[in-house]
Every structure is written in structure tokens, then in C-alpha cells.
Amino acid sequence: MFGAPEADIAVTAFLLHLVWEFWQAPWYQGMSDMPHLQGILLCSRAAFGDAFIALLAYGTLAAYTRDRYWAAKASPSQVAGYVGVGLAVTIVLEWLATAVLDRWQYAASMPTVPLLGTGLAPLLQWLIVPLAVLGWIRRVWNLRR
């Protein structure tokens, strides 16, 4: 797509996470009543953060495998590592944002995971979207060959 695997990951992750952020917005307090433009900007900022987490997870696996294109032929354990890094970062950030820094709160309709207190939507986001990112990237890179 863009020549550098990191750029491919960042752009794809941003776009797919942006869709997810809009979808899950009603499960966050205040999002339903927020002015439209403010909601778009907030979801966009969150998607940029998600893209950064995706790059961190991708870079972690690239360093571990010593291969910047590891996703083209990723093993199940590499995919699990990528998803695991993203999940771990998300759990910590969600906890900081909701319990420590009071950056946002879940709406009453958001199911939370017992013990963690993390919303189900952001956890599912980091199980589903990274797999879609890797699937898309693998397809694009293999078409390039």
C-alpha cells in the first residue's frame, strides 16, 4: 500500500478502529448527547490512539521476529502475541482512563468484565479489529508479490 509495513499497519488500523469507535460510542457516557462534530473529533482521536497501540504491538512482534514483514506469514503464536500486546495495553489504558484519571466513563449499558472492570466493547475491539487489520495487510502484501 504505502511501501513501509508500519505505514500500512497504521493507516489500516486507524481506519478500522475509527469504524469501531463510532460503533461503540453509545456505550460511553455523554457520547449520545454530544454535538456531532465533537463526537467525530473524539472518535478520531481515539482511533489515532488505537493506531498507535497497533503500531506498538506490531513493532513488538517485528523486534521479536526480527522481521518487519512478519504479518505476511504470521504464525498463530505471532498473531496471538500481536493481539495480546494490544489487549494488555488496552486494559491498562481503560483502567487508567476510567478509574484513575477520570477521562471517560462507561454508560450504564456497557457490559464490563468482572475483576478487570474494563468495558466489553473495547476488549472485543482488540480481539476483532487486529485480526481484521492483519487479514487485510496479509492480503494486500501477498497481492503485491
Q: What is the pLDDT of residues 39-78, one digit of tens each?
A: 999 999 999 999 999 999 999 999 999 999 999 999 999 9
Please give the residue range of the domain that contains residue 87. Answer: 5-144
Of 78, 113, 83, the residue nearest 98 (C-alpha): 113
Whole-prediction pTM: 0.91
Domain count of the chain?
A: 1
Give the pLDDT band (50/70/90) at residue 145: low
Q: Which long-range contacts (CB under 8 A, 24 or more apart) does 30-38 make?
A: 30/105, 31/107, 32/107
Type of residue at 68: R
Contact 116, 90 (CB under 8 A): no
pLDDT of residue 16: 98
